[in-house]
Amino acid sequence: MNLRTALLTACLALAAWPAVAAQLMSAPVAVATPQESAGLVARLTALDARQGLTNDYSFRISSQHPGVTGQKITRAQHTYKGLRVLGSESVVVTNAAGDIVSVSVADRRPGLTPQASTPGGAPPAPPLPTGADLTPTIGTDEAIRIAVQAIAPGGTHRWPPTAELLIYPVMKTVRTAAAGDKPEEQLNALDLQEVVDRYQLSYLVQLRMAQDSKLIYYDVVVSARDGAIIAQWPALQTVVGSGNSQYNGVVPISTSATASGFQMLDSARGSGGKFGGMAITNADHSSPNNPDPGAIYTNSSNTWGDGQQYNGGSTTNANGQTAAVNALWGLMNTYDTNRNVLGWQSLDGNNTATYIAAHVGTSYDNAFYDDSCRCMYIGDGNSFTSLGAIDVIGHEMSHGVTAATADLIYSGESGGLNESNSDIGGEMVEAYARNGGTGSVVPAAGNDWMMGKEISRSGEPLRWMYKPHKDGSSPDAWSTSLKNLDVHYSSGPNNRMFYFLSQGSKADPASDYYSAYLTRTPAAMTGIGNDKAYRIWFKALTTKFTSATNYADARNKVLLAAQELYGATSKEAIAVQRAYAAINVGADIDEEGGGGGDGEAVERVTNGGFETGVTGWSGATGVIGAHSGQSAYEGTRFAWLGGNGRRSTEMLTQQVQIPATASSAQLSFALHIDSAETTRSTAYDTLVVALRSASGTAIATLATYSNLAPAAGYQTRSFDLLPYKGQTVTLSFAMREDRSRQTSFVLDKVSLLTR
């Protein structure tokens, strides 16, 4: 055993996520003190310093919310020379002691190159901005004026406009080396990667305006050098378009007593906020271009509404109350779904109360979530009926959850994922509510997988989650043009992914539930149900997604969430891979048991967790043990390759057999990389994962990892080895370090499951 170089991470508790699917989110977390925030920034900066980054690079804490019990999630924006780099951030999970458990990163900082896991990788990073590049020539007022002139010159400000000076990474899409010659129509989402083309000093101008009975909410990126508009995207998150509820019959609603009767204030759900609890207010036809939420609904008795569509008369009589009943029942069930199933309290996880204002405008065909007030507004409809249906409420309130967590940029693929998260939330709330609104799981059925069907006068929903293209505009699968669509349409493929993940697919090409991208066995993938699908998705959203997450990144992070909850080779993790493959994001794989229970999984790796020492392994077996300075992914032992800080090579191997009759063969392992190297461009230290023949001849290189991809915690990796069925192969993990500055490749939980 070589003496390891002292590491900063030796004092960090880089614990693995326990594979327990029923974990609940913590109770609301206290906002960090300035000292606590500074301490976390210092630790993140120290990790950067190990990679040779100067004090030009730092972090800015942007939000905090609960993680699973005993953990906190902090979002840290990346800064360069004191300026935020838009879309570049770290999602940091810490335990009760403040130790870093895991970090999910989207790194777009100047001078840093995206790291590919295989040769051929990303192109060089653009040059660092100079001092002149970071000196604005226009001020904030001028930037706001330019943005207003471009978006709504005749509009009025509903909320004061803001302009933040920052560094805007102008992105471009490049092909991976393996996809260089692929025809455009054959490209998969994982064949492309987004890299920084150039940096521009810019203002992010946020306009929250109104004009001609319309709310005009836009984020506009204005060059701070010449005033040119670089990018813009809408920021208003809409659906587009015992009480007697309109859609659900007689439903129980939670109200509060007053001196003269009752009010629609639910003090049992949420605290603080504008009204001190969850509330429904009467906007009483307040103009949609500057709606006033009005006062909380009151009534002399505790029986509300007549269950009928609003007829245009009084907003306070029984008919006018029905829209408020719809809203309160929807708000209660949205709160209860996330609280009882996930432990997540209200929109922000910290139990801050929200409210919904009913009767906005006159015959207003919209409902929207406004993050400026963290509230929702509902119109009475014209082409639609009242927009307070259960899935619409769940959809809009889920925008609030997104705003409090990943804050997905409302444009391109990230905007589509933002909308998709709300559609997913709407459907899960509908399933929960339709089955009585109680219990700790999302019921397996009850939702219709059609967004807004109840509010449609024609019976046609806004969106079909299982077959998005039925609306004529939403694609069923990812393509290179997806990022150019309106976010309500670019949400389509991910909606379909979630449907397949929950409900499975069909093998009949004529079916709406069929995907031609599912080419492995069985042709009809098996779903894992609403409850597990929602837990996986919510974990990825809250602990891994960043504001710039696209479809390829989402697939990898949803898969990681499934592996952490249920295991690296679990049926749930396989279902995630198949569901994303069904929308052309990643490759399809064979299902465990062929989908029909006709075979048991067999573990082909001996002692893959290293808990029985060197059993089964050959080569530099001295790297196996319970060494101080690193921690195991599971159990107490692991294999620590590297970490020597001098020229060295270490290899671990194990011979395995893949039966000729195998229908699936999945290799997986957990890998943690940390490094003292200071470069961000040269791979000095590497770990090559390969297959070799019995004689030692290389058959295939599965991946190459290096000092360029350190991470604060284990990452799980998986590979399809079915092409090698009928062969006896040797798994090889070969580490090489150069003459100085250590890189550690810590390996655990190696598994090869065949069926």
Asked if residues 391 and 427 have their Cβ atoms less than 8 Å apart, the reply is yes
Q: Are residues 648 and 691 in the same domain?
A: yes
Higher pLDDT, 245 or 227: 227
Interval 159-170 mean pLDDT: 95
In a domain, 376, yes or no: yes
Are residues 373 and 437 both part of a single domain? no
Q: What is the mean pLDDT of the chain?
A: 86
739 and 705: one domain?
yes
Domain match, 484 and 546 both: yes
Q: What is the pLDDT of residue 241?
A: 34
Mean pLDDT to the nearest integer, 109-114: 72
Q: The CATH number of the domain where 136 resides is what?
A: 3.10.450
Task: Look at residue 113 and tell me if it is in a domain.
Answer: no
Cβ-Cβ contacts under 8 Å for 481 (sequence gap 6 or more): none
Q: What is the pLDDT of residue 600?
A: 63
Q: What is the DSSP string of 32-95?
A: PPHHHHHHHHHHHHHHHHTTT--TTEEEEEEEEEE-BTTEEEEEEEEEETTEEEEEEEEEEEEE
**For residue 249, which of 307, 194, 191 has the smallest C-alpha distance?**
307
How many CB atoms are located within 10 Å of the residue 629 CB?
15
Q: What pLDDT is recorded for position 86?
A: 95
Q: Does pLDDT of 16 surpass 50?
A: no
How far is C-alpha 193 from the geometric centre of its chain's CA atoms?
17
- Mind telling me the catalytic residues? 396, 488
- Residue after which a domain boundary falls, among 235, 263, 294: 235
Q: How many CA atoms lie within 13 A of 494 on its CB side?
A: 30
Lowest mean pLDDT among 117-131, 210-224, 541-555: 117-131
Rounded average pLDDT over 266-273: 86
DSSP symbol at 271: B
Q: Residue 663's pLDDT is what?
A: 76
Q: Which of 41-55, 282-296, 604-618 has the lowest mean pLDDT?
A: 41-55
CATH of the domain at 593: 1.10.390.10
Residue 737 lies in a domain: yes
| pLDDT for 50 | 62
pLDDT, position 29: 63
Domain boundary, last residue among 577, 599, 621: 599
Task: Single out the residue in 552, 568, 599 at which a domain terminates.
Answer: 599
Q: What is the pLDDT of residue 25?
A: 66
- Which pLDDT does position 602 carry in this prediction? 86
The lowest-confidence range among 231-240, 532-541, 568-577, 703-712 is 231-240
Q: What six digits make up the tokens of 232?
A: 């813009």
Q: Quick count: other Cβ atoms within 10 Å of Cβ 480? A: 13
Q: How many domains, the chain?
A: 5
Judgement on whether residues 399 and 453 belong to the same structural domain of the protein:
no
In a domain, 3, yes or no: no
More confident residue, 183 or 120: 183
Would 640 be classed as within a structural domain?
A: yes
Please calculate the CA angle 673-678-681 and round it to the nearest 5 degrees: 85
- Entry pTM: 0.78
Q: Could you report the per-residue pLDDT of 172-221, keeping only the tens digit for each? A: 998 887 788 889 989 999 888 888 889 999 999 999 998 876 788 999 99
Q: Which residues pair with 172 in a beta bridge?
A: 195
pLDDT tens figures, 564-610: 888 877 899 999 999 999 999 988 988 864 333 334 688 899 999 99
Residue 710 lies in a domain: yes
Q: Which structural domain, as residue segments, surrounds residue 648?
A: 602-754
Is 5 contained in some domain?
no
Same domain, 208 and 142: yes
